[in-house]
Amino acid sequence: MELQEKITILSGAARYDASCASSGCSNDTPRGGMGNTSQGGICHSWADDGRCISLLKILLSNDCRYDCAYCVNRSSNPVPRASFTAREVVDLTMEFYRRNYIEGLFLSSAVNVSPDHTMEAMVQVAEILRNEERFGGYIHLKVIPGSSPELVRRAGLAADRISVNIELPSSESLKRLAPQKSKEAILAPMKLIGAESGMSLVERRKSRKAPRFAPAGQSTQMIIGASPETDLQILRLSQGLYSRMNLKRVYYSAFVPVNEDNRLPVLAAPPLLREHRLYQADWLLRFYGFSAEEILSDDAPNLDESFDPKTAWALRNPGFFPVEVNRADYATLLRVPGIGVTSARRIIAARRFAPISPEGMKKIGVVMKRARYFITCSGRPFERVDQQPARLRQRLLLGDGSEPKLPRQLVLPGLG
């Protein structure tokens, strides 16, 4: 098989992995212009310092021996199959890097032959790039569940970030939709990566020459909407992964129906609005001091599609408001809809010199169309604060105009 044909097959097969935000775009170079993008395999991700970086996003192989109900590469699907050798991936990476197409590599794979066989080839790619090609760019490797601990350690020493896909939110759904995978085989490498990352940080504090282990941390991904778990179950799982596995990030991937299988739900479109709300709730877990049990409850286990999770929480907790912006501490300010991490810090810094005026709130960056219903400024409310939650909900839905803003399903290119 020609190399170009392999690139087409294996970059297309990689686009369902949400750990990288996008994959592939068409952009013809204008006459006399410079630069180009490749339709296959170039995506963008973000480094720890916030830089946007281009990655070659590709599978080592889509020749899978597993038969997961939701996966386009499952063994029973009649799709074209292809596999790279380690040297082919190395040469592609270096060639694209020299042409300034990419700054790094995102490498995943179907389970070809066995987890160890596949993982060994993926680790070889990273080790050849680092040790023989002296490649200093970003490398993200997916760990194949069931791989030996030694291969996971080698992957962490060669790559910047490593990740293990948890796939589905419960072990029951995993047994039903991916019977050849097990919760234990997924969690074991995650625990190992978390422990090795912690030990590496300790050793690096003692000596800057100590080897770095996955310095950009580990992440995971789960599919949303292919199984019946509630948003509360999903957020509790994410909360546990952040606290016990030392994860940097959980990615939520709306279920895209690519197979006909009676174990899967029938959906008109991928649940992208639900995915978006879960990302917002995840942000509250990581940066705003919320717990999953505060965002949702057993009585209301799914996120409100009409409001972001923080506004929905504020509407359920009217006794917490109004918040006086000139006296509230940082954690309290973060609970106000329309006040984010940056604007809360600016409020704390600005009021050291003088009380904040109502006019100063917008300059600080507060989103007043939401915050105005929940705050006072030197005792002065922006709106009547004794409004009933139902009336306040209606006013928030109306926004600035007279027509209600109806919830809108987000659409990604190619998925509409």
Query: Domains in the chain and their CATH numbers?
Result: 3-24+39-219 (3.20.20.70), 309-400 (no CATH)
Q: Residue 231 has what pLDDT?
A: 97
**More confident call, 102 vs 128:** 128
**More confident call, 33 vs 50:** 50
pLDDT-based confidence at 146, cuts 50/70/90?
very high
Among 35-39, 45-49, 159-163, 394-398, the range with the most confident prediction by mean pLDDT is 159-163
Condensed to tens digits (0 to 9), the pLDDT of residues 338-360 reads: 999 999 999 999 999 999 988 88
Question: For residues 329 and 325, what is the distance between their CA atoms, to the nearest angstrom?
Answer: 8
Q: Taking residues 238-252, what's their average pLDDT?
A: 92
Q: Taking residues 15-28, what's their average pLDDT?
A: 51
Condensed to tens digits (0 to 9), the pLDDT of residues 234-244 reads: 999 999 999 99
Residue 112 pLDDT > 50, yes or no? yes
- Cα–Cα–Cα angle for 395, 399, 404, nearest 5°? 80
Q: Taking residues 87-107, what's their average pLDDT?
A: 92
pLDDT-based confidence at 14, cuts 50/70/90?
confident
Q: Residue 35 has what pLDDT?
A: 40
**More confident call, 378 vs 16:** 378
Q: Taking residues 383-402, what's their average pLDDT?
A: 70
Q: What mean pLDDT value characterizes the chain? A: 87
pLDDT-based confidence at 48, cuts 50/70/90?
low
Of 8, 107, 123, the C-alpha closest to 58 is 107
Residue 271 pLDDT > 70, yes or no? yes
Q: Taking residues 204-215, what's their average pLDDT?
A: 90
For the entire predicted model, the pTM comes to 0.84
Q: Residue 208 has what pLDDT?
A: 86
Lowest mean pLDDT among 96-105, 116-125, 286-295, 405-414: 405-414
Of 79, 102, 263, the C-alpha closest to 175 is 263
**More confident call, 21 vs 279:** 279
Question: Residue type for 265, please?
Answer: P
Three-state helix/strand/coil letters over 104-119: EEEEECCCCCCHHHHH
Residue 98 pLDDT > 60, yes or no? yes
Q: Residue 19 has what pLDDT?
A: 59
Q: Residue 51 has what pLDDT?
A: 67
Q: Residue 18 has what pLDDT?
A: 61
Sheet holding 161-163, edge to edge: 42-46, 52-59, 104-108, 138-142, 161-163, 218-224, 249-254
**More confident call, 179 vs 7:** 179
Condensed to tens digits (0 to 9), the pLDDT of residues 221-238 reads: 999 999 999 999 999 999
Question: For residues 104 and 160, what is the distance between their CA atoms, to the nearest angstrom?
Answer: 10
pLDDT-based confidence at 396, cuts 50/70/90?
confident
Q: Residue 49 has what pLDDT?
A: 61
pLDDT-based confidence at 11, cuts 50/70/90?
confident
Q: Residue 16 has what pLDDT?
A: 72
Of 200, 198, 212, 293, the C-alpha closest to 247 is 198
Residue 255 pLDDT > 90, yes or no? yes
Of 177, 299, 275, 284, the C-alpha closest to 226 is 177
Residue 20 pLDDT > 60, yes or no? no
Give, for 322, the enclosing helix (H) or strand (E): none
Q: What CA–CA distances, in Å, run from 128 to 86, 93, 122, 125?
A: 8, 11, 10, 5
Q: In 109-170, which ranges are continuous DSSP H helix?
A: 115-127, 149-158
